C-alpha cells in the first residue's frame, strides 16, 4: 500500500512538471491582476494603469489593476509573493521594494527571494517641491532654512520605504541636514498636506508632482537625477544646486511570485518591450518625465540586487529601520 502511495505521488509530481510547459504555452488564458501597492492617484498607480492598458492590448486578456496600499508598498508585495507563480498575479514594484527587507524587520517575504523581478517599465526622476508659502526659492535656500531650524522642518512621503522617503533620507545624508519625516499612506494624501502647508517639502516622483507644479500649487526647486529632466529643462539637478553626487531615480517594474515559468516571464518582457513602442504609452511616459523600460530579465535582476545593496547601506547608516 505504501509503495502504491509513493508511486502515485511520484506520478502526480511528474504530471505536474510535465503540465507546467503546457500551461506556460497557453498563458495567458484568463484575466491578469496587476497589484498597485499604493493608493490611487500617485505615480505608482498612474504607471500601473498605463502599463495594464498596454499589456491588455499586447496579451489579449484583461489586465485589472488592484490597489493594495499600506506599509510602504509591502502589503501589496506580500500578497503577490503568496500568490500562485502562474503569471496571473503581478506586482507593479518600485525602488522602495528594494529597501524593504532592511526597513521592515518583520516582513513576511523577501523581495529578492520570494518574488521574481521581470523587467523595468519606467525610470522617473523625483522633484524637490516645497509649499508655495515657504520663504525659499532654491535648493541652497531650502538647505539653509533647514539648517537654521534643525529637527523642526518636516518632509512627507507615501510611506516608510517609499521613493519619497528614500529620496528624503538620501538628501538628509548627502546635505547633512536634520529634517523630520512624516509618512502617509500614499502620495495623494501627502501632496494634499504639502499644498495645505502642513508639510514643508517633499521629493515626489515627477509623475504626480508635475500637475501640481503646472497648477502653481507648489514650488519646484530641482530634480534628483544627475542629468536635467527633459520635461523640466529649467530645473537644476540637486547635484548642480549644491548637493554633490546626489542621484535618485524612481524605477518601476513588474514582478511576480518566485518560480514564474521562464516562458511566461519571456512573454511578459516581450509585451512590455512592444508596449514601449506604442505612441500612446510614449506620450504617457513623456508626461511623467519618464524614460521607458523593457530591461531584459537577467539584466534587471542584477540591477535590483545592486539597488537592494545601495539602499540597505543607506538604511543601515541612517538608523531608520522599523521593528
198 and 267 assigned to the same domain: no
96 and 135 assigned to the same domain: no
Note down the domain range covering 138: 125-223
Point out the least confidently predicted range of 167-176, 268-277, 281-290. Answer: 281-290
What is the spatial distance between Cα 156 and Cα 203, in angstroms, rounded to a whole number?
8
261 and 308 assigned to the same domain: yes
Residue 17 has pLDDT above 60, yes or no: no
Average confidence (pLDDT) over 168-196: 94
Average confidence (pLDDT) over 17-40: 82
Q: Is residue 228 part of a domain?
A: no
The better pLDDT of the pair 71, 261 is held by 261
Average confidence (pLDDT) over 45-74: 94
Residue 323 has pLDDT above 80, yes or no: no
What pLDDT score does 160 carry? 83
Residue 193: band (very low, low, confident or very high) from pLDDT cuts 50, 70, 90 = very high
256 and 107 assigned to the same domain: yes
Average confidence (pLDDT) over 12-38: 75
135 and 216 assigned to the same domain: yes
Residue 51: band (very low, low, confident or very high) from pLDDT cuts 50, 70, 90 = very high
106 and 139 assigned to the same domain: no
Q: Is residue 189 part of a domain?
A: yes
What pLDDT score does 43 carry? 82
What is the spatial distance between Cα 262 and Cα 148, in angstroms, rounded to a whole number?
55
What pLDDT score does 72 carry? 81
Average confidence (pLDDT) over 82-99: 95
Residue 259: band (very low, low, confident or very high) from pLDDT cuts 50, 70, 90 = very high
pTM for the whole thing? 0.80
Under DSSP, is residue 156 helix (H, G, I), strand (E, B) or coil?
A: strand
Average confidence (pLDDT) over 164-190: 93
Rounded to an integer, what is the distance from CA 149 to the centroid of its chain? 31
How many other C-beta atoms are found inside a 10 Å radius of the C-beta of residue 138? 14
108 and 39 assigned to the same domain: yes
What pLDDT score does 320 carry? 63
Average confidence (pLDDT) over 245-260: 95
Q: Is residue 11 part of a domain?
A: no
196 and 52 assigned to the same domain: no
Domain harbouring 166, CATH code? 3.40.190.10
Domain harbouring 34, CATH code? 3.40.190.150
161 and 118 assigned to the same domain: no
For the stretch 195-244, pLDDT in tens is 999 999 999 988 889 889 999 999 999 999 999 998 899 999 999 999 99
Q: Is residue 183 part of a domain?
A: yes
Total of domains in the chain: 2
Point out the least confidently predicted range of 16-20, 174-178, 278-282. Answer: 16-20
Residue 316 has pLDDT above 90, yes or no: no
Residue 6 has pLDDT above 90, yes or no: no
Q: Is residue 3 part of a domain?
A: no
Rounded to an integer, what is the distance from CA 257 to the centroid of its chain? 17
312 and 265 assigned to the same domain: yes
Residue 64 has pLDDT above 80, yes or no: yes
> At which of 188, 223, 258 does a domain end?
223
218 and 131 assigned to the same domain: yes
Q: Is residue 240 part of a domain?
A: no
Q: Is residue 142 part of a domain?
A: yes
Under DSSP, is residue 32 helix (H, G, I), strand (E, B) or coil?
A: strand
What pLDDT score does 53 carry? 97
Residue 5 has pLDDT above 50, yes or no: no
Residue 319 has pLDDT above 80, yes or no: no
> At which of 223, 241, 260 does a domain end?
223
35 and 109 assigned to the same domain: yes
> At which of 207, 223, 239 does a domain end?
223
Average confidence (pLDDT) over 80-86: 98
141-145 long-range contacts (CB < 8 A, ≥24 apart) are: 142/201, 142/221, 143/175, 143/177, 143/242, 143/243
Q: Is residue 217 part of a domain?
A: yes
Amino acid at each position: 500500500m505504501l509503495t502504491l502511495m509513493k508511486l502515485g505521488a511520484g506520478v502526480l509530481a511528474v504530471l505536474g512538471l510535465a503540465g507546467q510547459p503546457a500551461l506556460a504555452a497557453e498563458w495567458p488564458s484568463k484575466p491578469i491582476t496587476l497589484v498597485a501597492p499604493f493608493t490611487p492617484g500617485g505615480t505608482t498607480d498612474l504607471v500601473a494603469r498605463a502599463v495594464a492598458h498596454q499589456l491588455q492590448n499586447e496579451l489579449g486578456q484583461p489586465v485589472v489593476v488592484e490597489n493594495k496600499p499600506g506599509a510602504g508598498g509591502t502589503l501589496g508585495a506580500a500578497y503577490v509573493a503568496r500568490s500562485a507563480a502562474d503569471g496571473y498575479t503581478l506586482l507593479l514594484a518600485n525602488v522602495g521594494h528594494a529597501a524593504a527587507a532592511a526597513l521592515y524587520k518583520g516582513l513576511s517575504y523577501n523581495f529578492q527571494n520570494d518574488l521574481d523581478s521581470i523587467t523595468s517599465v519606467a525610470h522617473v526622476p523625483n522633484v524637490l517641491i516645497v509649499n508655495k508659502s515657504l520663504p525659499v526659492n532654491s535648493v541652497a535656500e531650502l538647505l539653509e532654512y533647514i539648517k537654521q531650524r534643525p529637527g523642526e522642518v518636516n518632509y512627507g512621503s507615501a510611506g516608510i520605504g517609499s521613493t519619497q522617503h528614500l529620496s528624503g533620507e538620501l538628501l538628509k545624508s548627502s546635505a547633512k541636514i536634520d529634517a523630520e519625516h512624516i509618512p502617509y499612506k500614499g502620495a495623494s494624501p501627502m501632496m494634499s498636506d504639502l499644498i495645505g502647508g502642513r508639510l514643508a517639502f517633499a521629493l515626489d516622483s515627477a509623475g504626480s508632482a508635475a500637475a501640481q507644479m503646472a497648477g502653481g500649487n507648489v514650488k519646484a526647486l530641482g530634480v534628483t537625477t544627475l542629468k536635467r529632466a527633459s520635461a523640466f529643462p529649467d530645473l537644476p539637478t540637486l547635484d548642480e544646486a549644491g548637493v554633490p553626487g546626489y542621484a535618485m531615480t524612481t524605477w518601476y517594474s513588474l514582478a511576480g511570485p518566485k518560480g514564474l515559468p521562464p516562458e511566461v516571464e519571456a512573454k511578459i518582457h516581450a509585451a512590455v518591450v512592444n508596449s514601449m513602442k506604442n505612441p500612446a504609452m510614449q506620450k504617457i511616459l513623456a508626461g511623467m518625465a519618464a524614460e521607458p523600460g523593457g530591461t531584459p530579465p537577467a539584466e534587471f535582476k542584477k540591477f535590483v540586487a545592486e539597488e537592494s545593496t545601495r539602499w540597505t547601506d543607506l538604511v543601515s547608516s541612517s538608523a531608520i529601520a522599523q521593528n
